[in-house]
Chain A
Amino acid sequence: MAHNHFLVVGGGLAGLMTTIKLAEAGHTVDVVSIVPVKRSHSVCAQGGINGAVNIKGENDSPEIHFVDTCRGGDFLAHQALCKGMCYAAPGIIYLLDRMGVMFNRTPEGNLDFRRFGGTLYNRTAFAGATTGQQMLYALDEQVRRHETDGLVRKFEHHEYLGMVRDDSGTCRGAVVVDHRSMQVQALTADATMLATGGPGLLFGRSTNSIINTGSAAASAYLEGAVYANGEFIQVHPTAIPGEDKLRLMSESARGEGGRIWVPRQKGDARAPRDIPDAERWYFLEEKYPRYGNLVPRDVASREIFHVCFDMGLGVGAGMQVYLDLTHIDAATLKRKLGGILEIYEKFMGVDPTREPMKVFPAMHYSMGGLWIDYERTADGFIQLDSPRNHQCSIPGLFASGEVDYQYHGANRLGANSLLSCVYGGDIGARAMMAYAAGAKAGHAELPASARDAAASKWQGRLSEIGRMQGPENPYSLHRELGEWMNRNVTIVRHNDKLQETADQIQALMERFRKINVLDGAAWANQSVLFVNQLWHMLELGRMITLAALRRDESRGAHFKPAFPKRDDAKWAKTTMARWSPAGPQFDYEPVDLSLVPPVERKYD
């Protein structure tokens, strides 16, 4: 078999799964990651991974999982990819189990499963409340094994800057910078995968790690890749506020029986345990008797926002509600939710097994991302040997994981993200191999001039940033961007506020030119790197805001009070954004909804 050489950018679940699949087939892989791959943001995923293994005698099936996913996404996802993912899910969970992921067990020693949002089935496998960490470690270990065998070469503490392209515009690798030596180099490959995660930092504080700038995706967009459905931003209903970040309190807390409530009486100053049941308003259970506290995230976040902001019923008249676990016995909580209880206790100084947690929604996930293609079979599955799968609008460039836009439509169901990362990495790797097998020329035949041109473009960019000596502090500009995005481009959206935000971002882009880079060092200069990322965040933030402004309907996480209904006739379409010097250009592409016909989304 011919041996190819591939490049994977990003060492989270999607990137590592891609790497394992490629190395297992005997190919060599370069893995580029800002942090040692074991520290990637996937570690923050808490609650679990979905798969209809059906061990609880509920007659669950991949088909029901598929329908739940389409409906949870408010009918915006291309359905063949969702179908492929849901049918592959039980096998993926078994694979992770074989790799040694310490999933919780039933008394008989089988994998245990719990409830999650947007479904009525126990479909979520979990490892305490640190499932993402445990899965990432298992993949990290497998990659280390391939690294020991000489198939994988890691470039940790390296960051993606842009593409290497040939005369035809095909992506033939990437330019990366070493975070320590600041050396810029071009890495060539027969196909390149971007698995660089989401853009949480655009929103200032979010549940994301601080490495999640979206900079790589934004760079690809600036270099011509189409970015799709950028306006679909998931706000998680339950996080704890912090000065540096908003820490996630997993949906699994509600999956294990946690209840959301506020005192019925406005400004009730009593301690929560002194408020009798009859004087508590379990508003999700009351409004959604069938799904209760496990309505999808967009629904729960809107309700919490409404109760606190519009009705003024938040705990202590503030922006918070109770997430109550105190009725569940402490040993069970420790076994199933230990990780998040520790986080709450450590950062808030309160034991959540004794006192209800105080939580509020926080930006969490981007459903949108780089546009990717796919090829379906007649019966609605994915043609697995097609090079089109997960390929971006730029030939030779692929995307998987949160950075792509597929699978989750207008709202992602909890515990589907870990699944989409592993599935996307798997079928993305197969597509890369199919693409390389059919390519006319390999990476070794690329003229050195193409490599050098790309490297010197980015070398020039970093040098230019290194000379910026104006009055503006880049970290303060970033905070301002985050404040605008968080205020106006999250749970509730109004067109006048979106327009104002877009204008303000343009003003920030003007001020960007007057930045002071703060640091002149030629070694480990984080400020230069951040300023480069900041420009990308501004471009991405502007595009996301304008995409939200244009979509006059309400669908999943995108909610406009002025247009409260989903409008399938006009908007059952993917938003496709292309960068231009005059600002983002938008057009729209129909979505294949032929497998699960759209219905009104109801959870009450």
Chain B
Amino acid sequence: MSPKSSKANQRKRQPEASKANQRKRQPEASAERPPGAVTSKWEWVTGAVGLVLVLGTVGLIAYDALGRAPSVPEVTIEHIATVRTAGGYVVRFRARNSGSATAAALSISGQLSDSTMTVETSEIVLDYLPAESERQGGLIFRNDPAGYELRLEAKGYVDP
């Protein structure tokens, strides 16, 4: 017998009751108890939290789904910083999708150009850029971007 169940026995003032008796009796005894009387108030609190989560989630998703026309991703790429490393110049960027559709396999390119021609191009593919989200990454150049005009662009995507 576990210490816990022996404690429970004492609380019910039936120290003589064996566990087996208790077990057999339980169904009929529980039939007499009023509904809800054996439920901890914390169970109700947790249950209420669950209910709020479900209603809130369903409500929010439905609201979003109804309120939005089918749309396309709206991607902007923002330059954060350039870091010089042994492997080249890392141009850190932030890609932000302000549209309401997710872009998958989003290709992002960076171009270094001077007044006459493009000097260097770097490209990466972002697996996912969800709606109203942002991701950060880096493009690596051999030339120092500080000496050229840097252009960061999103080139294309597929629907997830």
Partners in one complex: no
Q: Which residues of A contact B (CB under 8 A)?
A: none
Q: Which residues of B are in contact with A by a Cβ distance under 8 Å?
A: none
